């Protein structure tokens, strides 16, 4: 009986051992940007169509953005910036709206990703420069956050300078 109990305890320990650090890491990596008083964070307001860079608790940059249209809303919640692709190509995602779209090479005028692509919810949601700067201030994207190419490039440099992975809080 004692042997069976020890075996059960060991099994539970071996099962939960790797899970606890993973859950802790996940919860900390998705913590709201408001908790990060030091360092850099990004605050996005879908309603006001603004992206703000907060450094050491102070807003240092404010950018106009385009957000997802009602049929393809931008996800809300807490995220973390991921990899940054400079001068990205555009490959149509495997979704209905992109069914008849074609691959666009880096720098092509018809490439909707201009300058830079910053992942925040892989594989299909990014902050990126746009080939349609007139859409800034509108609900015009398929869920991504669009910026002018110059603004997106400046933001990517700020993210890199801050270490590459910064909290992003997206709210209505």
**Extents of the domains making up the chain:** 33-171
| CA dist., res. 94 & res. 163, Å (int) | 32
pLDDT the model gives residue 98: 87
| CA dist., res. 106 & res. 85, Å (int) | 11
Superfamily designation of domain 33-171: L,D-transpeptidase catalytic domain-like (2.40.440.10)
pTM to 2 decimal places: 0.76
The lowest-confidence range among 10-24, 80-94, 96-110, 129-143 is: 10-24
| CA dist., res. 151 & res. 12, Å (int) | 50
Q: Mean pLDDT over all residues of the chain?
A: 84
Residue 144 annotated in active site = yes
pLDDT (mean) for 127-137: 96
pLDDT the model gives residue 28: 41
Look up residue 64 and give its DSSP letter: E
Residue 157 annotated in active site = no
Q: pLDDT confidence of 127, banded at 50, 70, 90?
A: very high
Residues making up the chain, counted from first to last: 172
Catalytic entry in 36, 61, 142, 144: 144
Catalytic entry in 72, 128, 142, 157: 128
- Residue 63, beta-bridge partner list: 51
What radius of gyration do the chain's Cα atoms show? 20
Q: What is the pLDDT of residues 19-77, one digit of tens each?
A: 444 433 334 444 443 444 469 999 999 999 999 999 999 999 999 999 999 999 999 99
């Amino acid at each position: 009986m004692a042997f069976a109990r020890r075996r059960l305890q060991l099994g539970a320990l071996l099962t939960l051992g790797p899970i606890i650090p993973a859950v802790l890491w996940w919860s900390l990596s998705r913590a709201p940007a408001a908790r990060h008083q030091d360092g850099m964070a990004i605050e996005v307001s879908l309603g006001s169509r603004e992206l703000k860079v907060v450094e050491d608790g102070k807003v240092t940059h404010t950018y106009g953005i385009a957000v997802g249209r009602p049929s393809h809303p931008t996800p809300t919640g807490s995220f973390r910036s991921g990899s940054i692709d400079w001068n990205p190509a555009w490959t149509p995602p495997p979704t209905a709206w992109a069914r008849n779209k074609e691959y666009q090479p880096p720098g092509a005028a018809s490439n909707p990703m201009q300058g830079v692509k910053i992942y925040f919810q892989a594989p299909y949601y990014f902050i990126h420069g746009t080939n349609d700067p007139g859409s800034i201030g509108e609900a015009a994207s398929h869920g991504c956050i669009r910026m002018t190419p110059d603004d997106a490039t400046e933001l990517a440099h700020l993210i890199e300078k801050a270490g590459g992975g910064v909290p992003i809080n997206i709210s209505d």
